[in-house]
Amino acid sequence: MTNTTDPSGDVRLTGIAKTYGSFTAVHPLDLTVPQGSFFALLGASGCGKTTTLRMIAGLEEPSAGTVFLGDQDVTALPPYKRPVNTVFQSYALFPHLDIFENVAFGLRRRGLKSVKKQVEEMLELVQLGEQARKKPHQLSGGQQQRVAVARALINHPKVLLLDEPLGALDLKLRRQMQLELKRIQTEVGITFIHVTHDQEEAMTMADTVAVMNGGRVEQLGTPADLYENPRTTFVANFLGTSNFIEAEVDSKSGEDIVLKAGGGKLVLPEARCSAPTSTGGKVLVGVRPEKISLTHADDAGEIPEGRNRITGRIADSSFIGVSTQYVVDSPVCPDFEVYAQNIDRDPRLVPGAEVVLHWNPAHTFGLDAAQDADAGVEEAA
């Protein structure tokens, strides 16, 4: 990273909003993306993430609010006057120009005469030096994608905007390009804002992820933070899988909250609860499937003290190599998902077996019970 303290590459959105007639694509939104960061806008289609990106690029006029790049208010500037460049979905390479001219396009428009050296260096960076005189349609999808990145990066934009840049690639190539883009970003130190609907992609690449839903940012944070401490059921379900148990606040002990759920007790660190915690209040207790251990009911005595535990019966199990995924029918939650690493497989854990599910209370999170526990499940699928 070149200069992370220089604020000129910060992107600041204040009260930015977009409405089309009576439809609100983006609700008033405040967002700051610091210089040099790899920022992802994550959400299902129609959540407003692309509209937000296009407002930064100047391709969409905000209905309200201001876009700042560093200290400069660029809200009223047309795209060709903004120091940002975009990598478009499906690339939008100019079909009548060869790769060299595609990459040189921005430099030439700014009146640079000798572009050869810069273009060649940029093509080297994306490993396309050999293809300079080919037309875009002669390249593979992954190569076209790299041309699109090179064409944008060569202008040294303050911010690079990426609109689902990997959406058209197959899975293997996408993984490879994720690492490639991350490498390029680290190398050039430019702020990247990346729009994607692929949660894995966002988590792999970005330093900071903003999860958007219905034109609003649901939660913003590092990938690990979003995964471990989701604040809404949408985030909990959109990023990975979550199990939810409806519970009632019983009492507090130290830094923990004790909850009643279906006759049993669960412990939840207060710091990890985003719901009001007055006694008698409803809380959705969440836990990720891979945090849970599964023990046969006969061995329930061997479970150490101080772990959250619930009982159930295995409804289904599927062996997928590195792990086995169980669906457990429990009185407090009908389809409890558990991912168990295949280290020591207990042959008794077959559908129909009575089991105890237990986990470290520190891995529990609490959400407001007023929301739909299934929010985001469909979108993530």
Partner 1 sequence: MSTLTEAPPPLAPGAPESKPPKRRGRFTPYWLLLPGILWLVVFFALPMIYQASTSVQTGSLETGYKVTWHFATYWDALSAYWPQFVRSVLYAGTATILCLLLGYPLAYLIAFRAGRWRNLIMILVIAPFFTSFLIRTLAWKTILADGGPLVGALNSLHVLDVTSWLGLTAGDRVLATPLAVICGLTYNFLPFMILPLYTSLERIDGRLHEAAGDLYARPWTTFRKVTFPLSMPGVVSGTLLTFIPATGDYVNADLLGSTDTRMVGNVIQTQFLRVLDYPTAAALSFILMAAILLMVTFYIRRSGTEDLV
Residue 92 engages partner 1 in binding (rule: CB under 8 A):
yes
Own/partner pairs for 320-329, CB < 8 Å, 24+ apart?
323/290, 324/349, 325/289, 326/294, 328/294, 328/355, 328/357
CB of 18 to partner 1, least distance (A): 16
The CA-atom distances, in angstroms, between 261 and each of 132, 228, 280, 317 are 65, 22, 12, 25
Nearest to 375 by CA among 211, 210, 206, 163: 211
Residue 137 engages partner 1 in binding (rule: CB under 8 A):
yes
Residue (81 or 172) nearer to partner 1, CB: 81
DSSP assignment string, 180-241: HHHHHHHHH--EEEEEES-HHHHHHH-SEEEEEETTEEEEEE-HHHHHHS-SSHHHHHHSS-
Residue 308 engages partner 1 in binding (rule: CB under 8 A):
no
**Residue choice 96, 113, 117, 172 for contact with partner 1 (CB under 8 A):** 96
Separation of alpha carbons 164 and 317, rounded Å: 35
CB of 266 to partner 1, least distance (A): 51
Residue 57 engages partner 1 in binding (rule: CB under 8 A):
yes
Residue 79 engages partner 1 in binding (rule: CB under 8 A):
yes
Residue span binding partner 1 (CB under 8 A) among the ranges 19-27, 75-83, 183-191, 199-207: 75-83
CB of 85 to partner 1, least distance (A): 6
Number of neighbouring beta carbons within 10 Å of residue 226: 26
CB of 137 to partner 1, least distance (A): 7
**Residue choice 27, 59, 182, 246 for contact with partner 1 (CB under 8 A):** 59
How many residues bind partner 1, per CB under 8 A?
A: 26
Residue with tokens 């046969």: 296
**Residue choice 18, 151, 272, 288 for contact with partner 1 (CB under 8 A):** 151
Residue (110 or 252) nearer to partner 1, CB: 110
Residue 86 engages partner 1 in binding (rule: CB under 8 A):
yes
Residue 106 engages partner 1 in binding (rule: CB under 8 A):
yes
Phi, psi of 355 (to 5 degrees): -135, 165
Separation of alpha carbons 286 and 292, rounded Å: 11
Q: Where does this chain bind partner 1 (CB under 8 A)?
A: 57-59, 78-81, 84-86, 88-90, 92-96, 105-106, 109-110, 137, 151-152, 155
